[in-house]
């Protein structure tokens, strides 16, 4: 989170892009535009953040492992509240090209959670796709969440 925060505060899209795994950089749909969108949430470049619940999922098989970390943070920029999420693979012995940041999102707090009818909002559906699949590979479409109009 510290590296993401530093890059966001400096509006450094190149530094954020370097955090992404080789596979995420290759497979993400328009990563550069996604990073531009992500950085647009921090107009002044300054924000505060605190964890709102992190987690991990991992598999082990014959002395090999894959682990994905989920970062969930509450961010505040000039009094506006945001949800910040990332999926990060610190290790994947099965598919080393996924090691690194795999998914990144920032949305206004009002855009997270559930609708009045109890359905998950699009951001929450997007964030739930990231895990480790049956072939010990990353699941989900890597990149940066950008809301669809």
Phi, psi of 49 (to 5 degrees): -150, 150
Strand, helix or coil for residue 133: coil
Is 103 within 8 Å of 89 (Cβ atoms)?
no
List the pLDDT tens digit at each of the 149 positions of the chain. Answer: 899 989 988 899 999 999 999 999 999 999 999 999 999 887 776 778 888 888 889 898 888 999 999 999 998 888 888 899 999 999 999 999 999 999 999 998 877 877 888 888 888 889 999 999 888 889 999 999 998 86
Residue 45: per-residue pLDDT: 64
Residue 67: per-residue pLDDT: 93
Distance CA 107, CA 84 (A): 7
Task: Indicate the CATH number for domain 2-135.
Answer: 3.10.450.50
Residue 16: per-residue pLDDT: 96
- Residue in this structure with the two tokens 């950089």, named with its chain if needed: 25
Distance CA 97, CA 52 (A): 29
Residue 78: per-residue pLDDT: 81
Q: Rg for the chain (alpha carbons), in Å?
A: 15
Taking the CA of residue 107 as centre, how many other CA atoms within 13 Å lie in the half-sphere pointing to its CB?
A: 21
Q: Considering Cα of 96, then 97, then 98, then 101, what sign does the dihedral take?
A: positive
Phi, psi of 3 (to 5 degrees): -65, -40
Cα dihedral 45, 20, 111, 121, rounded to 10, equals 180
Residue 149: per-residue pLDDT: 65
The pTM score is 0.90
């Amino acid at each position: 989170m510290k590296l993401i925060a530093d890059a966001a505060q400096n509006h450094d899209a190149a530094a954020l892009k370097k955090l992404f795994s080789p596979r995420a950089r290759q497979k993400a749909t328009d990563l550069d535009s996604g990073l531009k969108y992500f950085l647009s949430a921090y107009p002044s470049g300054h924000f505060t953040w605190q964890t709102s619940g992190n987690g991990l999922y991992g598999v082990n098989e014959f002395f090999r492992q894959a682990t994905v970390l989920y970062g969930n943070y509450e961010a505040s920029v000039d009094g506006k509240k945001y949800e910040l999420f990332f999926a990060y693979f610190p290790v994947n012995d099965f598919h080393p090209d996924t090691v690194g940041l795999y998914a990144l999102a920032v949305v206004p707090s009002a855009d997270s959670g559930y609708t009045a009818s109890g359905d998950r909002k699009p951001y929450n559906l997007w964030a739930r796709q990231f895990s480790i699949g049956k072939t010990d590979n990353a699941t989900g479409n890597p990149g940066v969440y950008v809301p669809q109009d």
